[in-house]
Amino acid sequence: MAPSQQSIARLHLLLLCVWIVIGLGLRLANLTDKPLWTDEFSTIVFSLGNSFTTVPLGEALTSEQLLQPLQASSSAGARSVVRHLLTESNHPPLYFLLMHGWLKLFVNQGGERLVWGARLFSVLWGTVSIPAIYGLGVFAFRSRLVGQISAALMAVSPFGIYLAQEARHYTLPILWIIASLACLIAAARAIRDRLLLPNWLCLTWVIVNVLGIATHYLMILALVAEAIVLVIMGLVQSWKEQGHWYPLGHWRQIIGIVLGTIMGGAVWLPYLDTDSQLTAWIVQSQRSGWDWFSPIGQVLAGWITMLYLLPIQPPENFPDQSGLRWLVLGSGVALIGLTLWTIPKVYRGLVLQLKHRDSRLAVFVLGCYVISSIALFLGITYLLARDLTSAFRYNFIYFPAVILLTGAGLSSIWMGAMADRPKAPASWFSFFYRSSARTVILIGLMGFLGALTVVSNWGYQKTHRPDVVAQEIRTRSAGQEVLVAIAHQTHGQTGRLMGIAWDLQHPIRSTDQPPPQNVQFLLAPLTRDARSIVRVLRSTLNQASRPLDLWIINFRDTPEQAIDVLLDRQNCEAVTKRRLTDGYRYRLYRCDEE
């Protein structure tokens, strides 16, 4: 007897719950076992309604003084969140306002619970993206199978897990993009069939777009890519009908949606500052030789990690460093091989999807959206000298579409295995040994291995590594008086110093070394007068007790010769060479009594 539609629906619901549980479990795994870095401190501080400007500059600070913005204040409400965010940062406020209410559940617990709570907020939104991509797959391709495979890929995606384990505002806009893509596909069907969109759908699309812009400014690129898709749709339909363009009345709703989105999103545009010091790191005005190909390589690497990842970032304290080099090399080769093996299979699957009317439209719309998004990224990178490809996290713009297209291609492969499946019940297990089914299962298993790579911190390590510097301080300055000084320009440097102070109090790795006797921190302002930082450092050293271990961090843009002369006069001798880890360039000096 054939299974009823109700039993099939229950089976799909159960299977979707399995992907949700797997995805949630992976995103929760080792959630606090990675260091807090600058951007995460920004999320927590601004979400609490606090300001970085309350941290004094130019004077020695204790850990408690430096980390004071992490303390909740009864006077800091939603208005404080918006005010400090718009005056000190360059992000719209929706995510931070939502987290402001969420963090009230954790602020009184402090310590690692606060970190866990901040990252958990992102985890929950990331987990919701699993049923959301399932729904988009069912709607776009009229296929539960496409939805199931896409949900499974989303659950184990290394890139998706990386974003979800950051206390940052990337997983929520992914949901806005999924919802906006659903509206885009509905609009594409209306254009194809010369139908009008329901008014409720037009209003929903505008609301989703406006909320997306209020969550992250890069949502604007997603909307521009959608606009490009709609124009292409109109051109294609016009070509099919021998140049007969649609009348303006047919486009009136689309134009209204565009205008509504612009008016709603324009509220936050005055606060968008693309030339601030906070975004200076993406400016790439000088390129030569192979540097011109770097953005393309970064785009390709970003694609790969949406499906696969292997151990390519081993821990720095791993004992067998020579063996690790071979492991990293082998992982890199394996990732390239896996990708070259996967792409033709997904492509053939998508070609099969083109045989069906609805799925053909979905492949066209999503494919154009991904290509348009990447073209915008590369255009901004090469023409405006703003390298958006250098931060993999920005790929969240087209991440859902890539997952859905991959799921659609793999579903065709899976259906091929189903078509070849023997009818005899005794041969049921042989289905899993057929090449088409093995392909889909293997891709899922390799994605799961990539997920484990992320949660075990062998891939997608934090952008900055304050834990490495803190471990060096514990090792080399145990039992000593310590001053950690960093050149300060924005709250980004405050966050870097906070990361070291936090890890000294809450070490990621267990250690038997005694902590330094007394650690103080200095935010040395780097002004237009480059020598001002020398005067601040001199004043602080004159007041410090001796002997003293002085850690100089990120003094790259300071007058190096003047610093060397000052340290020589202060009887400070370099103990280590300059060392470099992600986000930090540091060196230890030992200052004895004169």
Output phi, psi for 16, to 5 deg.
-65, -40
- The length of the chain is 594
List the beta bridge partners of residue 61. 521
Predicted confidence (pLDDT) at residue 554 exceeds the cutoff of 70: yes
Residue 397: CB atoms within 10 A of its CB come to 26
Q: Which helix (DSSP H) or strand (DSSP E) does residue 111 occupy? A: helix 111-141
The CA R_g of the chain, rounded to the nearest whole Å, is 27
Q: Specify whether the backbone of 435 is left (phi greater than 0), alpha (psi in -120 to 50) or beta.
A: alpha
**pLDDT of the residue at 541:** 94
Token digits of residue 312: 């390519």
Beta strands in 476-583 (DSSP E): 481-488, 518-525, 548-553, 572-574, 579-581
Least confident of 263-272, 337-346, 370-379, 475-484: 263-272
Q: How far apart are CA 253 and CA 555, in angstroms?
A: 55
* Cα–Cα distances in angstroms (integers) from residue 322 to residues 246, 311, 441, 458, in the given order: 65, 15, 33, 16
Fold of 466-591: Rossmann fold (3.40.50)
Long-range contact pairs involving 562-568 (C-beta distance under 8 Å, separation at least 24): 562/531, 562/534, 563/534, 563/537, 566/534, 566/537, 566/538, 566/541, 567/591
Q: Are 517 and 481 in contact (CB under 8 A)?
A: yes
Output phi, psi for 588, to 5 deg.
-100, 130
Q: How far apart are CA 48 and CA 74, in angstroms?
A: 10
Residue 336: CB atoms within 10 A of its CB come to 13
Residues 464-492 pLDDT 10s: 999 999 999 998 998 889 999 999 989 99
**pLDDT of the residue at 274:** 64
Q: Is 525 helix (H, G, I), strand (E, B) or coil?
A: strand
Q: Which helix (DSSP H) or strand (DSSP E) does residue 60 occupy? A: strand 60-61
**pLDDT of the residue at 43:** 95
* Cα–Cα distances in angstroms (integers) from residue 151 to residues 9, 194, 263, 375, 555, in the given order: 16, 32, 34, 27, 46
Q: How far apart are CA 564 and CA 570, in angstroms?
A: 10
Residue position matching structure tokens 């770097």: 294
Q: How far apart are CA 313 and CA 199, in angstroms?
A: 50
Residues 517-537 pLDDT 10s: 789 999 999 887 778 888 999
Domain definitions of the chain by residue range: 11-42+121-455, 466-591
Confidence of residue 17 (pLDDT cuts 50, 70, 90): very high
Residues 239-266 pLDDT 10s: 665 555 666 666 888 999 999 999 999 8
**pLDDT of the residue at 425:** 44
Residue 169: CB atoms within 10 A of its CB come to 25
Least confident of 352-356, 445-449, 455-459, 559-563: 559-563
Residue 317: CB atoms within 10 A of its CB come to 10
Q: How far apart are CA 49 and CA 348, in angstroms?
A: 51
* Cα–Cα distances in angstroms (integers) from residue 477 to residues 471, 484, 487, 513, in the given order: 10, 11, 21, 10
